[in-house]
Amino acid sequence: MKGILYGVGVGPGDPELLTAKAIRLLRECDAVAAPKSADGRQTALDIASPYIGQDKSILLFDMPMTHDRQARNASHNAAADALCALLDEGKTVVFLTLGDPTVYSTYWYVHKRVAARGYAAELVPGVPSFCAAAAAMGRALCEDGEMLHIIPATHGRAEEGLALSGSKVLMKTGKSVLEVRELLRQRGELGSAALIERVGMDGQRLIEDLDALEQPSGYFSIILVKEQSE
């Protein structure tokens, strides 16, 4: 009998934000998989580590943060091959991913490859980073009939996204944060925006005055822009 792959969201950084289901699966699974960055960081695994027993097999997969589609496809295919080999042995595997596996998650590309080969693969939601960011800021993401837009700031679509009506979440704003700040200034929305870096992690930083930024922020940065009332 073939095993099952679970794509488990570990939330934004605080281990206490893992769901009860995520913790149960980590205790019951045969192996735990997680992405590893080019510089060796394994953030998702570090977050979930309090719940991972020493008897678990750990697999780390290189997941390059690049726009090179060929390189990304190669890493996703390699991960899918390794995971399917474990599933053929009847193993239950938990693949950890930051935040939620359905929101800009590298894991999703592995998940759909495994599922397309006919293996059982399930998604286990986690707390999205922008929800944790709003909670840390003490503000609502949206109220009444407001629309909410999730915008990837790393793909050159910030200007297009900011033109939409409603409140906005700009994800992964690190390198483009100064550009986004100027777009907000031009739109008269700078006073409605706030940035949080590394929410739930060591070094969490909240910046409510974006003019205080003198250089690009880190990769784990989110800007919330609240819709201005008439």
Contact 207, 194 (CB under 8 A): yes
Which pLDDT belongs to residue 170?
93
* Burial (CB count <10 Å: 0-12, 13-18, 19+), residue 33: buried
pLDDT digits (tens, 9 = 90+) for 119-136: 999 999 999 999 999 999
> Would you tell me which CATH number, out of the four given (3.30.2320.30, 3.40.1010.10, 3.40.50.300, 3.10.300.10), belongs to the domain 4-124?
3.40.1010.10
Q: Taking a C-beta distance cutoff of 8 angstroms, is the pair 6, 92 a contact?
A: yes
Return the amino acid letter for 90: G
pLDDT at 3 over 70: yes
Q: Is the pTM of this model over 0.85?
A: yes
Q: Which segment of 28-37, 167-176, 178-187 scores lowest on mean pLDDT?
A: 167-176
Which residues fall within 8 angstroms of residue 159, CB to CB, at 6 or more apart? 183
Structure tokens at 187: 């739109």
Domain boundaries, the chain: 4-124, 129-225
Instruction: Look up residue 229 and give its two tokens.
Output: 């009332």
Band (pLDDT 50/70/90 cuts) for residue 220 is confident
Q: What CATH number should be reported for the domain whose range is 129-225?
A: 3.30.950.10
Phi then psi dihedrals of residue 57, to 5 deg: -75, 135
Which residues pair with residue 58 across a beta bridge? 32
Q: Are 177 and 216 in contact (CB under 8 A)?
A: yes
pLDDT digits (tens, 9 = 90+) for 97-112: 999 999 999 999 999 9
Q: Residue 29 carries which side chain, given as an amino acid letter?
A: C
* Mean per-residue pLDDT of the chain: 92
With pLDDT > 90 as the criterion, what percentage of the chain qualifies? Answer: 73
**Among 11-25, 50-64, 215-229, the least confident range:** 215-229
Can you tell me whether residue 170 is helix, strand or coil?
strand
